[in-house]
Amino acid sequence: MAGRASENSVMPDWYLDGLEHVWLPYAQMKTLPAPLPVARTQGSRIVLTDGRELIDGIASWWTACHGYNHPHIRDVVATQLASMPHVMLGGLAHEQALRLASRLTGLLPGELNRVFFSESGSVAVEVAMKMAIQYWINCGAPTKSQFVAFKAGYHGDTTGAMAISDPEASIHALLAGILQKHQLVDLPEDDATTATLERLFAERSESIAGIVIEPLVQGAGGMKFHDASVLQRLRALADRHDTLLIFDEIFTGFGRTGSMFACEQAEIAPDIITLSKALTGGTLPLAATIATRKVFNAFWSDDPKKALMHGPTYTGNALACAAANASLDLLKKSLGCGRSPTFQLPWSEVLRPAEICRV
């Protein structure tokens, strides 16, 4: 490895040359401790260029749910790479995306059965918001364009997602003034907060397109847990006041809360769900926004204006979908999960000392 001495260690040339040109995430780069140079990963370990090993307790922002470099995902992606890395989904279709769509809809509860692919969680949330607003336009209720979201919630860094991510109190506070205003409320965890939400809907339901929540755990906002009854209350409110219920399971999906999807623990299903992060087992960027038949049917028309006008260039990327299909193979094998199980992870095996890789 070519390298140069830097402070107390030898750093590779690519590190010293490139650090001057990269803009790192969530960082005041002037005062940030220098990032650690990584050579490779394996299982629960991140190996640095100087040979030191880190035990990863974050799983790279909650993505690497099988540990790093799982051979099954690697082999499936390598096979896909050899035959077709990517084709656009504009006018074309391919096996990996269509197989993944059927498998996801087979695993999800309720009537969630149309999958729209994008490449990041934030974009999946933007798509969910756009779907909800246009759903009401297509249904002849164009005033329904605001969202009810919750204090301490986090849904991403693009402007639509920022606007429902507790903008005043969050990392996005500086830009709060330029964001669209939504209804930011407390979770309906008791009689008082439920009554406040009831009043809000009684007064403004004709302006509300949807309710957006991270079910069971508000992750990035501080790992705040709530009871499944909160989700049941929201389902009932959404039905009573004719609004859509959107679950952001980008963090909670794929077994993180003990069931395949967190909403299964409340025995209810949303109208739209967003998934990403562990979807590809931490290998490639992929996200999905999945809508019910009822939502999709509002777009199904002879009128071209009723179509969803969204199409990320890499939507349904074949490599990412192959990785997600391989990750589902592993989840099925190791957890025996089908629709609606609350599975028990074999914790005594998973949590062997010094091998914890999930947060």
| Chain residues in the site for ligand PLP (CB under 6 A) | 120-122, 125, 154-156, 214, 219-220, 248, 250-251, 276
| Distance in Å, CB of 26 to ligand PLP, minimum | 10
On whether the CB atoms of residues 55 and 357 are closer than 8 A, the answer is yes
| Distance in Å, CB of 289 to ligand PLP, minimum | 11
Spatial distance between the Cα atoms of 196 and 250, rounded to a whole number of angstroms: 28
Dihedral of the CA atoms 281, 67, 49, 284 (nearest 10)? 0
Nearest residue (CB) to ligand PLP, 201 versus 251: 251
Pick the closest to residue 326 from 80, 94, 138 (CA basis): 80
| Distance in Å, CB of 23 to ligand PLP, minimum | 16
Amino acid at 285: P
Nearest residue (CB) to ligand PLP, 10 versus 223: 223
Q: How many CB atoms lie within 10 A of CB 81?
A: 13
On whether the CB atoms of residues 110 and 271 are closer than 8 A, the answer is no
Helical packing angle, 318-335 and 95-107, nearest 10°: 40
Nearest residue (CB) to ligand PLP, 91 versus 222: 222
Give the pair of three-digit tokens for residue 261.
């999807």
Nearest residue (CB) to ligand PLP, 131 versus 298: 131
CA 146 remoteness from chain centre: 21
Nearest residue (CB) to ligand PLP, 67 versus 285: 285
What φ, ψ does residue 55 adopt, rounded to 5°?
-95, 120
| Distance in Å, CB of 122 to ligand PLP, minimum | 3
3-state secondary structure of 238: helix
Nearest residue (CB) to ligand PLP, 124 versus 298: 124
On whether the CB atoms of residues 310 and 127 are closer than 8 A, the answer is yes
Burial of residue 97 (number of CB atoms within 10 Å: 0-12, 13-18, 19+): buried
3-state secondary structure of 53: strand
Write out the catalytic residue numbers: 26, 154, 248, 277
Q: Please identify the residue of the shown chain whose CB is closest to the bound ligand PLP.
A: 121
| Distance in Å, CB of 250 to ligand PLP, minimum | 4
Indicate the helix (H) or strand (E) that contains 26. none
| Distance in Å, CB of 158 to ligand PLP, minimum | 7
What φ, ψ does residue 26 adopt, rounded to 5°?
45, 45
Give the pair of three-digit tokens for residue 308.
């969803």
Nearest residue (CB) to ligand PLP, 32 versus 223: 223
Amino acid at 253: G
Spatial distance between the Cα atoms of 118 and 108, rounded to a whole number of angstroms: 18
| Distance in Å, CB of 299 to ligand PLP, minimum | 23
> How far is residue 172 from each of residues 146, 166, 186, measured CA to CA in Å?
19, 8, 19
